[in-house]
Structure 1
Amino acid sequence: MQNERFDLGYGIMMAEDFPKPTSRPDVNRDRHLYLLGLDYQMNGSVCRCVLRSVGLSLHSSPLRMTKATHRATNIMQKRMHSFAPMSNGSNAAGGQLRLKGIVFDMDGTLCLPQNYMFAEMRQAVNIPKGSDILDYIHALPEKEQKEAFGKIQDIERTAMSKQVPQAGLVSLMEFLDQHEIRKGICTRNFDTPVNHLLSNHLPRHINPFSPIITRDFRPPKPSPAGILHIAHAWGITDTADVPTSPPEERQLPMIMVGDSIDDIIAGHDAGAMTVLLRSEGKEELEKDPRTHLVISRLDELIALLKNGLTAVR
């Protein structure tokens, strides 16, 4: 049996000569495709598209696809986000992107988490547990909305005086500036605490973050709209509109760093690589398939970026 291997960007594929003669009356083709990879349940429509592509490249008759939904070696592997090394003299390997910019969440990412705020907000505005705070307030009548946001902002102003920068914050920002990597912020907070953090916990020689997406931007995370607005401002995308195509088909040369499920969903759906900053109580998020990498402190990214960054899932 002679094997031929192909890499179409969706994993390694192998086309094998099918044994002849066969006792299977339903098999009348001379090719049989095997999709090799990790544990990944095949999607029928995607596989059919890939099969057609391979069939054309082989100049052979159409290929028969065997469905597989169980653990096996004949599985389709999705393409991994990968960035070229930034160290001096390094070159990009085939398929690697050149990183253009990183978007950061604020609370819990640029500064230590202040999760106690959320319980105070719910109590102040009588928001039921399980309801999204911003969605709940936006659904209120205009006058009540204004009053609710006033209470929320009072809590945030009090908390901002207790902000503590994340370990490795300054060294990572200096590294990104040295390599001319753009920096942006996408947060559900309002602008005053953001400006307080940047003014009080980053040296003046650090290049500014731009754009900075705050609560005034709608829709907020977990929508990818804010991140795509930043991508458009950086010239990465032609439009800030949210595409209808799957994120895997439009990987962007940017990273979203955050500590919450909203950050990870927004980054993933925008087409960015997602990096989770580890925090207590969010261990399940480390296993989420939309989380591409996990770090324990911000400056861990420096060595990863120097050597080349590849998603682990």
Structure 2
Amino acid sequence: MATNPRHPRRFAPLDPNAEYSDAPVLRGIIFDVDALHIPRTTDILDHIYSLPSSDQPAAMESIREVERAAMVKQTPQRGLADLMDYLEMRGVRKGICTRNFDTPVNHFLEKFLKGKVFGPIITREFRPPKPDPAGILHIAESWNLYDRGESLIMVSRAIIALPKVGDSVDDMTAGHRAGAATVLLVNGVNAHLTTHQHTNLCISSLDELIAILERGFTGQIDQGDEHPDTKAQAQAALANGSL
């Protein structure tokens, strides 16, 4: 089912007592991790993979060292624990798609989310990385979902709170290309992405998603690749209640 770019993305309420909705059912949420202090990670990885194969292990190890050092600074994003408890209560599957190595990811899950179930967990070894949608599509297939990412939500900058130049646009683009709805956890670095064409919803704290999912997810206009004037017209129509 293709998403109509003239209408906002929607999912039916997770509250079992809510009124009937003809919106699609949410089948799972995929989270980014964000554990690096390295800006423009995609460029770094592209550079490493362009090196002779004999030089790549040492270059990768240098990034691993940075991530191991950053592990001691890991802190959970505000509202993370409450959102995870809610999703498990509602039986919503949770996956991870990140360009970090598995060591800092597993360290964080063990320290702050022990006992919470995530899977699959896509890390840097998976190729191709974001902004390619391959990792998200792999998770969808592992969950036996064959509508690409149409029944999923991708949440950017979602788990670890570290001040850095982030890769949020790659999360939004990967989610969009997979057909998933996208949620941006906004901070001072990525605020310019709140109106990006691949951003469906913006939140300032993860626990804001609880009420949104309970009532039914409705994103901002998903403009895709349509002309900016078309998006402006659609947003105006939505604001006037005629869309």
Give TM class, smaller chain: 0.7 to 0.9
Shift in CA distance, 131/227, structure 1 to aligned 2, threshold 3 Å = closer
Task: Choose the corresponding residue for 1:236, options 126, 142, 145.
Answer: 145
- CA deviation vs aligned residue, 1:10-35 (integer Å, no higher than 9, x gap): 5xxxxxxxxxxxxxxxxxxxxxxxxx
1:183 aligns with 2:94: yes
1:273 aligns with 2:181: yes
SS at match of 1:198: helix
1:147 & 1:185 partners in 2: Cα distance? 26
CA shift for structure 1 position 199: 0.1
Q: CA RMSD in A?
A: 1.9
Residue ranges of structure 2 left out of the alignment (5+ in a row): 158-167, 222-243
SS at match of 2:54: helix
Shift in CA distance, 251/221, structure 1 to aligned 2, threshold 3 Å = closer
- Structure 1 runs of 4+ aligned residues shifted over 4 Å read none
1:227 & 1:92 partners in 2: Cα distance? 29
1:246 counterpart residue number: none
> How many residue pairs end up in the alignment?
209
CA shift for structure 1 position 251: 6.3
Rg bigger for which structure? Answer: 1
SS at match of 1:310: strand
The residue identity in structure 2 corresponding to 1:99 is L
Going by fraction, where is helix more abundant, 1 or 2?
A: 2
Q: How does 1:122-133 map to 2 (within 5 A)?
A: 132-133=43-44
State whether residues 172 and 199 of structure 2, in contact with CA within 8 Å, keep that contact through their aligned partners in structure 1. Answer: yes
1:98 aligns with 2:63: no
Could you state the TM-score of these two structures normalised by the residue count of structure 2?
A: 0.81
1:99 & 1:137 partners in 2: Cα distance? 37
CA shift for structure 1 position 218: 0.2
1:231 & 1:91 partners in 2: Cα distance? 28
Residue ranges of structure 1 left out of the alignment (5+ in a row): 1-8, 11-76, 108-112, 120-128, 239-249
SS at match of 1:276: strand
SS at match of 2:87: helix
SS at match of 1:302: helix
CA shift for structure 1 position 183: 0.1
Q: Which has the higher contact order (CA 8 A, sep 6+)?
A: 2
Q: Percent of pairs identical after alignment?
A: 49
CA shift for structure 1 position 144: 1.4
State whether residues 97 and 253 of structure 1, in contact with CA within 8 Å, keep that contact through their aligned partners in structure 2. Answer: yes
The residue identity in structure 2 corresponding to 1:149 is M
1:89 counterpart residue number: 17
Could you state the TM-score of these two structures normalised by the residue count of structure 1?
A: 0.63
